């Protein structure tokens, strides 16, 4: 007998609401099956999504999305939400070109209230929406779903402090999805019983009627209501320690079983009855329903395609992150001053080896890039050599601290900027195409962009021991590129390949160098001899590299980053200072957010692959027959 399937019949929250309660566990199992199968092929964030299936069902059963606004922090746990809000039929396109995003995206669905990608922002956004509702007289609710990991980010506490003062009439509900750390201690059977009572809608209705009745009594009513509230709070404080949120102005409910749909629905309906900001504390299990993800939630947090049976990823080979991890562990063996810092990304940035060998010099500060940067500055002021390993997209969050606490003070902080350049399927919120432009504007910081593993080692040695002040070493996601014979860059400033007197100079940096080297070989076959200049230190740009390029009639700069404020514009400015009178062509990201696609496809889109470089050069030199490019 074939098992009944419910997911194909759900085209929106209204269909979910029609299902009987008895069907919901089977629906949850279907969602998990679809989720695991798709992520095994497309890659994505699995463990966190598996943990919130029941919570998502309960939210869409109780609230009226999109009139009630559900805001997911980060947005990387929204897969079940996508399936239940009309996108189940397209779920197999997840993270593919033109397909569903792996995060919430406003352009994708009216149910995606706020585009996600970075942590700890949902509560601020949700409070803003709730405040707007209150001002406009709307009776709709706003729900922020925030993981416990995001509670290591300072914005959450800024928002809690602000939203908790909003008081009566603010229809804001915060779901604390607690899947790893225990914010409030296990309180035993009595506390669980009290949590169940507080989750009952009748509790809130009775509480509201009692407060209203007491407040109507002249003179003694309001003081009596306040006295009862204070007495209740004191009793609760003796039973369980969960009052931080109530001290900030929220009504606290929980902790609750995040995998009991019935209990969750009842708790959410209870929260609706309260006319104050509510914090609902929900315990969930990361990776629930897939044993490998349950056992290794960090590995399956964000994962590439994998084998369903073994749980093993399908790619092989050492990445730049692996090479950095090996280098810094060996450097830490030689130099006891080296300390490593991560913002909850030890596995992703390759720091697990350093952590195992030097736990006293390893600091995971949580999702707190601003704190990590200033903490690193403090370590430097104390005589250490701090290395902050961080994805390019997340370094954006620490721009002020880079300027004010590191560069301005001349402190030696080394930024290991991982995932620099295109990252692929994570899309516009994660593409590392801004770091060169914003670091380029910071005085007294040195920036390196290696293209090979050997260059990476050399750049970190230079950054640690041979530069003044702060330095950043930015490197791409993935494996070391394959270079044509004779194109091994050397040194940490710049390298030149081909004749210095060539009429054409091709200039680039980072991973794009491999494409440019292949392009120069193709140009040679087509009768065009080009000088290839590879910048390894992109800030400050080596003077000799500019002088060499200035001798050419045509200079082509190819940049895997933002054009405006980037390295290519700075190179052009320096060329003019040396009285360059030829043609300068800059190919880069033209002030836009790069969408999700494979990295090779993004290179092709922006004409940064070898074919695009060849076409750009040939098209330009053929428009000027008076100049000889051979």
Residue 235 has what pLDDT? 45
The arithmetic mean of pLDDT across residues 201-227, rounded, is 58
Judgement on whether residues 590 and 507 belong to the same structural domain of the protein: yes
Mean pLDDT of the chain: 90
Question: Would you say residue 388 lies in a domain?
Answer: yes
Environment class of 619 (CB within 10 Å of its CB; exposed 0-12, middle 13-18, buried 19+): exposed
The arithmetic mean of pLDDT across residues 514-518, rounded, is 97
List Cα–Cα distances, 401 to 378, 441, 597, in angstroms: 12, 14, 32
Look up residue 344 and give its two tokens: 């909850």
Is the pLDDT at 627 greater than 60? The verdict is no
Judgement on whether residues 465 and 502 belong to the same structural domain of the protein: no
Neighbours of 408 (CB within 10 A): 16
Question: In the 8-state DSSP scheme, what is residue 608?
Answer: -
Q: Tens of pLDDT along 69-108? A: 999 999 999 999 999 999 999 999 999 999 999 999 999 9
d(CA 223, CA 212): 13
Look up residue 370 and give its two tokens: 């601003």
Give the list of residues 6+ apart from residue 486 with CB closer than 8 angstroms, or none: 497
Q: What is the CATH number of the domain that holds 401?
A: 3.40.50.970
Judgement on whether residues 98 and 197 belong to the same structural domain of the protein: yes
d(CA 177, CA 536): 44
Q: Is the separation of the CB atoms in 497 and 531 below 8 Å?
A: yes
d(CA 531, CA 232): 78
Quickly list DSSP for 384-443: -EEEEEEEHHHHGGGHHHIIIIIITTT---EEEEES-B---TT-TTT-B-SHHHHHHTST
Judgement on whether residues 55 and 160 belong to the same structural domain of the protein: yes
Q: For 219-235, what is the HEC assignment?
A: CCHHHHHHHHHHHHHHH
- Residue 216 half-sphere exposure toward CB, CA atoms < 13 A: 6
Q: Tens of pLDDT along 364-390? A: 999 999 999 999 999 999 999 999 999
Question: Would you say residue 488 lies in a domain?
Answer: no
Cis peptide upstream of residue 128 (ω within 30 degrees of 0): no
Residue 168 has what pLDDT? 82
Question: Would you say residue 569 lies in a domain?
Answer: yes
Q: Where are the alpha helices (DSSP H) in 337-390?
A: 352-357, 369-381
Judgement on whether residues 509 and 461 belong to the same structural domain of the protein: no
Burial 215-250 (b: 16+ CB within 10 A, else e): eeeeeeeeeebeeeeeeeeeebeeebebeebeebbb
Catalytic residue among 69, 95, 171, 286: 286
Residue 219 has what pLDDT? 60
Judgement on whether residues 45 and 133 belong to the same structural domain of the protein: yes
* Number of residues that this document lists for the chain: 630
Burial 339-349 (b: 16+ CB within 10 A, else e): bbbbbbbbbbb
Percent of the chain beyond pLDDT 70? 88
Question: Would you say residue 505 lies in a domain?
Answer: yes
d(CA 126, CA 71): 6
3-state secondary structure of 467: coil
Judgement on whether residues 469 and 512 belong to the same structural domain of the protein: no
Question: Would you say residue 62 lies in a domain?
Answer: yes
- Residue 11 half-sphere exposure toward CB, CA atoms < 13 A: 1
Nearest to 57 by CA among 88, 17, 86, 87: 17
3-state secondary structure of 350: coil
Q: What is the CATH number of the domain that holds 536?
A: 3.40.50.920
| 397: annotated active-site residue | yes
Question: Would you say residue 210 lies in a domain?
Answer: no
- Based on the structure, what is the number of domains in the chain? 3
Any idea what the Cα angle at residue 436 is, between residues 151 and 529, rounded to 5°? 150
Q: Is the separation of the CB atoms in 53 and 28 below 8 Å?
A: yes
| 496: annotated active-site residue | no
Domain enclosing residue 343, as ranges: 320-474
d(CA 601, CA 453): 24
The arithmetic mean of pLDDT across residues 346-364, rounded, is 96
Residue 389 has what pLDDT? 98
| 32: annotated active-site residue | no
Q: Tens of pLDDT along 233-288? A: 554 444 344 468 888 889 998 889 999 999 999 999 999 988 789 999 999 999 99
Residue 574 has what pLDDT? 97
- State how beta strands 445-448 and 537-539 pair: antiparallel
d(CA 72, CA 91): 18
Q: Tens of pLDDT along 290-319? A: 999 999 888 888 888 988 898 888 877 899
d(CA 417, CA 71): 29
φ/ψ region of 476 (left if φ > 0, alpha if ψ in -120 to 50, else beta) reads beta
Any idea what the Cα angle at residue 516 is, between residues 510 and 522, rounded to 5°? 165
- State how beta strands 278-283 and 251-257 pair: parallel
Give the list of residues 6+ apart from residue 157 with CB closer than 8 angstroms, or none: none
List Cα–Cα distances, 385 to 210, 232, 435, in angstroms: 61, 51, 22
Question: Would you say residue 118 lies in a domain?
Answer: yes
Judgement on whether residues 275 and 419 belong to the same structural domain of the protein: no
Q: What is the pTM of this model?
A: 0.87
d(CA 442, CA 347): 29
d(CA 214, CA 206): 12
Judgement on whether residues 515 and 461 belong to the same structural domain of the protein: no
Quickly list DSSP for 558-589: EEEEESTTSHHHHHHHHHHHTT--SEEEEEEE
Question: Rounded to the nearest 10 degrees, what angle do helices 261-273 and 201-216 cross at?
Answer: 20
Residue 501 has what pLDDT? 87
Residue 199 has what pLDDT? 53
Q: Tens of pLDDT along 564-615? A: 999 999 999 999 999 899 999 999 999 999 999 999 999 999 999 999 999 9
Catalytic residue among 397, 511, 539, 563: 397
Question: Would you say residue 175 lies in a domain?
Answer: yes
Question: In the 8-state DSSP scheme, what is residue 479?
Answer: B
Q: Is the separation of the CB atoms in 160 and 230 below 8 Å?
A: no
Judgement on whether residues 47 and 121 belong to the same structural domain of the protein: yes
Nearest to 473 by CA among 438, 510, 430, 426: 510
Judgement on whether residues 254 and 346 belong to the same structural domain of the protein: no
Instruction: Identify the bridge partners of residue 227 per DSSP, sorted by sequence position.
Output: none
Judgement on whether residues 18 and 117 belong to the same structural domain of the protein: yes
Catalytic residue among 369, 480, 515, 518: 369
d(CA 504, CA 517): 14
Neighbours of 551 (CB within 10 A): 16
List Cα–Cα distances, 231 to 216, 227, 228, 558, in angstroms: 20, 6, 5, 68
């Amino acid at each position: 007998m074939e098992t009944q399937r419910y997911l194909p019949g759900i085209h929106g929250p209204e269909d979910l609401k029609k299902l009987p309660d008895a069907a919901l566990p089977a629906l949850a199992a279907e969602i998990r099956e679809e989720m695991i199968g798709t992520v095994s092929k497309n890659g994505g964030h699995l463990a966190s999504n598996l943990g919130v299936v029941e919570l998502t069902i309960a939210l869409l059963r109780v609230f009226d999305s999109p009139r009630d606004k559900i805001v997911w922090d980060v947005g990387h746990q929204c897969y079940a939400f996508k399936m239940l809000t009309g996108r189940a039929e397209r779920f197999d396109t997840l993270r593919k070109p033109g397909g569903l995003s792996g995060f919430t995206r406003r352009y994708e669905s009216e149910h995606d209230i706020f585009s996600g990608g970075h942590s700890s922002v949902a509560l601020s956004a949700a409070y803003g929406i709730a405040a707007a509702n209150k001002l406009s007289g709307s009776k709709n609710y706003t729900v922020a779903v925030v993981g416990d990991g995001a509670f290591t980010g300072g914005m959450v506490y800024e928002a809690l402090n602000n939203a908790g003062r909003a008081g009566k009439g603010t229809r804001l509900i915060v779901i604390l999805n607690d899947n790893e750390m225990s914010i409030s201690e296990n309180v035993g059977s009595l506390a669980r019983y009290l949590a169940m009572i507080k989750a009952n809608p009748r509790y809130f209705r009775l509480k509201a009627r009692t407060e209203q009745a007491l407040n109507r009594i002249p003179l003694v009513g309001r003081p009596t209501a306040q006295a009862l509230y204070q007495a209740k709070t004191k009793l609760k404080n003796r039973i369980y320690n969960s009052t931080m949120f109530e001290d900030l102005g929220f009504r606290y409910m929980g902790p609750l079983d995040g995998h009991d749909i019935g209990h969750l629905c009842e708790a959410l309906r209870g929260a609706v009855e309260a006319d104050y900001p509510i914090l609902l504390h929900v315990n969930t299990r990361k990776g629930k329903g897939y044993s490998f993800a349950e056992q290794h939630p960090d590995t399956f947090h964000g994962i590439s395609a994998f084998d369903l049976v073994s749980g093993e990823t399908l790619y092989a080979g050492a990445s730049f992150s692996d090479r950095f991890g090996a280098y810094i562990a060996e450097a830490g063996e030689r130099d006891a001053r080296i300390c490593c810092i991560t913002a909850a990304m030890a596995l992703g940035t390759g720091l697990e080896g350093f952590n195992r060998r030097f736990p006293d010099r390893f600091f995971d500060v949580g999702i707190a890039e601003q704190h990590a940067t200033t903490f690193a500055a403090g370590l430097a002021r104390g005589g250490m050599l701090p290395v902050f390993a961080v994805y390019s997209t997340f370094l954006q969050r620490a721009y002020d601290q880079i300027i004010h606490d590191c560069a301005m003070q001349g402190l030696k902080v080394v930024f290991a900027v991982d995932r620099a350049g295109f990252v692929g399927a994570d899309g516009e919120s994660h593409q590392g195409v801004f770091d060169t432009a914003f670091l380029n504007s910071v005085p007294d910081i040195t920036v390196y962009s290696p293209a090979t593993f050997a260059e990476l080692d050399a750049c970190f040695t230079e950054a640690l021991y041979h530069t003044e002040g702060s330095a950043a070493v930015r490197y791409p996601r993935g494996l070391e590129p394959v270079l044509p014979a004779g194109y091994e860059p050397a040194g940490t400033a710049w390298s030149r390949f081909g004749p210095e007197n060539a009429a054409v100079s091709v200039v680039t940096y980072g991973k794009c160098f491999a494409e440019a080297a292949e392009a120069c070989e193709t140009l040679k076959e087509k009768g065009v001899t080009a000088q290839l200049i590879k910048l390894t230190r992109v800030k400050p740009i080596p003077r000799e590299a500019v002088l060499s390029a200035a001798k050419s009639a045509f200079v082509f700069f190819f940049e895997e980053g933002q054009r405006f404020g980037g390295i290519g514009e700075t190179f052009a400015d320096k060329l003019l200072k040396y009285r360059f009178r030829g043609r300068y062509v800059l190919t880069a990201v033209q002030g836009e957010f790069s969408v999700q696609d494979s990295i090779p496809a993004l290179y092709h889109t922006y004409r940064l692959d070898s074919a695009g470089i060849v076409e750009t050069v040939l098209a330009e030199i053929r428009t000027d027959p008076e100049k000889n490019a051979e």
